[in-house]
Structure 1
Amino acid sequence: MPGAGTISVAVFAAVLPAKASTGALLVLLLVGDLFAVRSYRAHADWPTLRRLAPAVLLGVLAGTGFLAVAGDHMVRRVIGAVLLALVAVPLAGRRAGRGRQDGGALPGAEPAPRRGRLARLRAGGYGVLAGFTTMVANAGGPVMSLYLLASRFSVAMFLGTAALFFFAINLAKLPFSASLGLITRESLLLDAVLAPAVVVGALVGRPLARRLPRAVFERLVLVLTVVAAANLLL
């Protein structure tokens, strides 16, 4: 259920020290990723993953540098600000979608010869932002969701590409997080206690998502994310 992860980010950062929360949550995200990859891997778009990889790695390195110098208070504030900013992403996407429906091409649309270059620039920008936000706050999901939606993937291809993307990026983040001291014996013990709940969530998530109206789910996620982010900022 895309978007629900931002709520977990805010809850973990509110209960645990902000920097420590990123390491504890990372391991649990990987447990969930295993279920997503198992369900949707056949539908992944590999050219998109290869195109995004260099920019995402750059963003992860930038996020690692930030975590190395930032204090816990700063990380907490940045996580809150990132979450609030990411709430605006789906709203902006909706407005852009209405603009296309109401008026065809958006004003100022680029000529066809420039679309290839703009597509590469867009992939690079989204990749860097996704890498940074996922390293600092495990909150790259909304960024990638907007990029994949803009690429007009089918639902199956969207889920497959996102599943493999986040499994690979979360796996790549493990050594960086460990080197920063964010994954410890204590955090792994906490993960061992919470992992069964992740498994339960993965098993019930798919049938539950089919019954929950999409509009209701999106509004609920946005409201809860704003509340959680405001709590971190205040």
Structure 2
Amino acid sequence: MTFGTVLLLGVAAFLVGYAKTAIGGLASISIAIFAIVMPTRESTAAILLLLIVGDVVAVWHYRHDADLSLLRRLIPAVLPGLVLGALFLAVVDDTVLRRSIGALLLVMAALQLALRWRSPDTTAVGESHAAALGTGLGAGFATMTANAAGAVMTLYLVAQGVEKRRFLGTGALFFFGVNLCKVPFSAGLGLFGAQTLSRTAVLAPVVVVGAWAGLHTARRLSQARFDQAVLVATIVSALALVLR
């Protein structure tokens, strides 16, 4: 492994932690980096383990801010979404998967831009059962195939008018549970090889450092500035995957 590859993976691990305690969309850069420097299928398992490390820090810090009523509406559709994502992973090759990840990130970024353009000062909307089920299904599929459900959740929580700490706490608990559910699916697909596990062990401390930095940054910068950075990062990383 070259120095450049090690550096890129270190940056990706840092951003995983940073995104977990600040704004989740920044993890899209990490997803893109892992999918570029590693075989794409194995990259989904490697980054999953790092995401869980970041989840632990985020859940602990925001443990009093999660909205359980929102989570109860989403959970019933997540498992079917995970199953569909696992089936998709089982039948596509690396090139199709990499480009699918990029296309999915672009679609999520476009949806976020559309939502902001239509309603920059979004307030809570009707809590549709269909919207919750659709979000759960989409989040399950997106997270299983690309670890990219953050944008799906962002759309749902923004539409509900969720304020910043409640947003972070609800997302942290949701993704911790979802990512744990993904572990047996990825294991069943044979994605947790010895190299993946050893790489995760080396990068885990970098995730913790990133999470610490995210906690301090989140206190100082506005949600609007975070959101703008997330959209730019998502678009750039998605284009890198699609055009590679």
TM-score range (shorter-chain normalised) is 0.7 to 0.9
Q: Which runs of 5+ in 1 are unaligned?
A: 102-108, 110-114
The answer to whether 1:71 aligns with 2:80 is no
Q: TM-score, normalised by structure 1?
A: 0.88
Distance change (3 Å), C-alpha of 1:173 and 1:44: same
Instruction: Name the CA distance, whole Å, in 2 between partners of 1:51 and 1:206.
Output: 28
Q: Does the CA contact (< 8 Å) of 1:7 and 1:221 recur in 2?
A: no
Corresponding residue to 1:225 among 211, 222, 234: 234
Corresponding residue to 2:151 among 114, 124, 142: 142
Q: Does the CA contact (< 8 Å) of 1:10 and 1:225 recur in 2?
A: no
Instruction: Name the CA distance, whole Å, in 2 between partners of 1:212 and 1:88.
Output: 24
* Paired letter, 2:58: A
Corresponding residue to 1:51 among 66, 70, 73: 73
Instruction: Name the CA distance, whole Å, in 2 between partners of 1:52 and 1:70.
Output: 27
* Paired letter, 1:24: A
Q: Does the CA contact (< 8 Å) of 1:178 and 1:184 recur in 2?
A: no
* Paired letter, 2:151: P
Name the SS for the 1:43 alignment partner.
coil
Number of the residue aligned with 2:84: 62
Number of the residue aligned with 1:29: 51
Partner deviation per Cα, 1:151-203 (whole Å, 9 max, x = no partner): 12232221111111000000000000011111111101000111110010111
Partner deviation per Cα, 1:71-115 (whole Å, 9 max, x = no partner): 1111011001011111112212212314979xxxxxxx9xxxxx5
Number of the residue aligned with 1:92: 114
Instruction: Name the CA distance, whole Å, in 1 between partners of 2:68 and 2:151.
Output: 20
Percent identity, aligned pairs only? Answer: 51
Distance change (3 Å), C-alpha of 1:168 and 1:100: closer
Instruction: Name the CA distance, whole Å, in 2 between partners of 1:100 and 1:226.
Output: 22
Q: Which runs of 5+ in 2 are unaligned?
A: 1-21
1:59 offset after TM fit, Å? 0.7
* Paired letter, 1:29: L
Name the SS for the 2:47 alignment partner.
helix
The answer to whether 1:210 aligns with 2:219 is yes
The answer to whether 1:195 aligns with 2:204 is yes
Number of the residue aligned with 2:34: 12
Name the SS for the 2:192 alignment partner.
coil
1:211 offset after TM fit, Å? 3.1
Q: Does the CA contact (< 8 Å) of 2:164 and 2:223 recur in 1?
A: no
* Paired letter, 1:155: K
Aligned residues: 221
1:215 offset after TM fit, Å? 4.0
Of the structure 1 ranges 68-77 and 212-221, higher mean CA displacement relative to structure 2 is found in 212-221
Of the structure 1 ranges 163-172 and 36-45, higher mean CA displacement relative to structure 2 is found in 36-45
Distance change (3 Å), C-alpha of 1:216 and 1:161: closer
Partner deviation per Cα, 1:98-136 (whole Å, 9 max, x = no partner): 4979xxxxxxx9xxxxx56xx000111111111100000
What CA RMSD, in Å, does the superposition of the two structures yield over aligned residues? Answer: 2.0
Distance change (3 Å), C-alpha of 1:151 and 1:214: closer
